[in-house]
Amino acid sequence: MNVNELPIGVFDSGLGGLTAVRELKEILPHENIVYFGDTGRLPYGTRSAETIIKYACDDMNFLLTNSVKAVLIACGTVSSTALGVLKSSFDVPIFGVVEPASAEAVSLTKKKKIAVLATPSTISAKAFDKAIAGIDGSVSVCGIGCPMFVPLVENGYIGEDCFVTKEIVNEYLSKLENFAPDVIILGCTHYPLIKSIISKTACEKFGKTEIVDSGKVSAHALKKYLDQNGMAKTDGEGFTRYYVSDEPHNFGKTASLFLGEQVDNVSKIDMEEYLYKK
């Protein structure tokens, strides 16, 4: 099969990577996409580096059984912790969310103060700090671990008027009051689902604040690569297949809310059975 016809693979620990899928479907409407959400083992953000790397390799191995031509790691935790291992272990173009989001943030900041909201593992890895320093060493970075955001999103607490989510956002952003950033990177692809709450709270606390959606800018980085290398599919209507590692019912229901379309073609995969006991 011509490489152009092969699907794009996307994976995340759960729902968050669908923010990147939505953008891919918008900017690459002809492409077929295979999405895997490791819902049975989330969250990744509080796991050890060794566990994250193991899970990420499992996710990659599953996607490769679908003959994908490129992979977008729509997970800040994996991008921060395991990207180097994955790139050296798998012979397929792999894109994380850290470098594209960091470049976008540096281009937007005027005060040279960038905050990163991400999972505790991502913050500990300091991948965003290193990427930003490599672009502009004069930019200050402050990372805040936000362990409550992923379970809030996964359980549907994403409404703009959700009291619980607003209170937790306020608590996390209060830690940035002395830093006062003018750009905030959403370093986990779950977080754009509560972007409006984060943005409103940030603007109230710090004045005009730009929000960088790491999944969105990474989708554009992948598109640029496919276009430059003649790998993009240029005709036909693309389709997306969804796979999860836990019961798919809640995934389909919640995913439909922010993809803006019905999601009913969701299949459950038993990772241990599928990868190791076939």
Catalytic residues: 75, 188
Instruction: Measure the CA–CA gap between 33 and 43, rounded to whole angstroms.
Output: 23
In the chain the beta strands, taken as DSSP E runs, fall at 8-12, 33-37, 70-73, 94-95, 113-118, 140-145, 183-186, 210-213, 240-244, 266-268
Tokens of 210: 């730009």
Q: Which candidate, 96, 94, 85, 101, places its Cα nearest to that of 8? A: 94
Instruction: Measure the CA–CA gap between 88 and 84, rounded to whole angstroms.
Output: 6
Gyration radius of the chain's alpha carbons: 18
Place of tokens 């173009």: 93
